[in-house]
Amino acid sequence: MLAIDSAISDAFSAAKRPEWKTNLKAVIAYRKALLVAQEHRCAYCARTIRDEVGHRELEHILPQSQCPAQDFDGGTAASNDWIHRRHTRGYGDFRYEPLNLALSCKRCNSYKGSFDPLLNRSVAIAAYPSASGDYLWVHPHFDPYSKHINILEGLLYSPVQGSQKGQAVIKVCGLDRAEEITARQVEACLTSTQELVQAMISLTISGEPLDSAEVGDALHKRFKVATSAKMKGFLDQLLANAGRGSDVLVASIKQISLEIGTGNPIVAPTVPAFVVKRGAAKKASVPAKTKKCPTKSVPAKAIDKTVVAKQNKSKPKRSAGSRRN
C-alpha cells in the first residue's frame, strides 16, 4: 500500500469534476505525494522518473474513458478475454479516486493505454474494487512490486515464480521487447546525469546498439542544446572513434564539448576494453629447466684409508715460519 497523507487524498477526492484536470491544486499535491510514495519510480517498470511534464504521467489504473461511441460494444466491454481488454466501458466515476491513480513513465502509460486490468469485467461495479484479488495485474496500491516482478541487470524483467500479475504488466507495458529494453536503457542513462557530454560518453561506451537519430533527438529534448541533427552528428562521431583508442575518443569528446559550448570540464573516461583494439599479448618465454644430477653421500667407512694416506704424503710440509699466500 502506498503511504499517502489522508488529508491530501481527501482533498484530491473532493476536487472531483466531470472531466479530468491536471492543473488543479489538489491534483498537483496528490501527484507530488505519489512521487514521494513511489520513491520517484514508475509504478510499472520501476525506472526513475523526474517530476517534469512529458516524463511522468498520472495514470488511471482503471481507464477513465469509454471506447469511442462508434466502436463501443457492450458485450466486448464485458468480456474477460485478453484480446478484448482494450475495449472498455470506462470508469468515469473513479476519475478522482485516489486509489485509481499512480505515477508512470510516459512509455508505460503509452503502452498501457486503455487496457482494463479489472479481473471480472462481466459485472458492473458501483464502488472502487479495493482488494488485490480484484485485479489481474500488479496494482500499485495493493500489491508489493517485488513479489511479482524481478528486474535483472540491464532492465530485464521476469515474473516472480510465474506470477500472472507480474506477467500481465510485463506484457502490456512492452517490458519483454528487446527494442523497448534498449530504449529504456538509453532513457535511464539520460535520466542519471545532468551533464550532456557525460551522457554522450556513457551512451557511446555502453555497448548498446544505438539509433543515433533517435538518441540524438532524445539528447536534444533532454538538454535543450543544438538540434537533433547536430546531436546525431556528434553521436556518430563518437561511435566512429570509440574503437580507435582512448586518446582519440577523448580528443573527440573535447572537440564536441567546445562546439556545444557547455563550458564544463571534461573528465577523460575510462574506456572499457571492448572499445579499445588491443594487440595480442606476447607469450612469456619459459626457460628450460636443467636437471641436476643427484649426488650420493659416501659413508665414511667406505673410503679407502690407503688412498688418504698417499694423498697426505704427497702434500708438501709447511715450515713453522712460513705463511700462506
Beta strand 149-152 with 156-159: parallel, antiparallel or unpaired? antiparallel
The reply to whether 45 and 170 lie within a common domain is yes
pLDDT tens string 287-310: 444 333 343 443 444 434 444 444
Beta-carbon contacts of 155 under 8 Å, excluding residues fewer than 6 positions away, are: 45, 47, 181, 184, 185, 188
Where a domain ends, among 155, 178, 201?
178
Tens of pLDDT, residue by residue over 162-206, are 999 999 999 999 888 766 666 776 777 776 677 777 777 777 766
C-alpha cell at 315: 702434500
Amino acid 274: pLDDT: 35
Considering the domain boundaries, does residue 320 fall inside one? no
Domain boundary among 245, 272, 299: 272
Quote the pLDDT of residue 118.
97
72 and 171, same structural domain? yes
Sequence-ordered strand ranges (E) for the chain:
56-60, 101-105, 149-152, 156-159
| Residues 235 and 144 both lie in one domain | no
DSSP state of 51: S
> Mean of the per-residue pLDDT values for the chain?
77
Q: Which domain holds residue 197?
A: 193-272
Does the global pTM surpass 0.85? no
pLDDT at 206: 61
Average pLDDT over residues 45-61: 85
Which residues make Cβ contacts (< 8 Å) with residue 56, sequence separation at least 6?
31, 35, 42, 49, 50, 103, 104, 105, 106
Q: Region 23-41: what's the mean pLDDT? A: 93
Pairing of strands 149-152, 101-105: unpaired
Choice between 184 and 271, residue whose per-residue pLDDT is larger: 184
Q: What is the mean pLDDT of residues 227-236?
A: 85
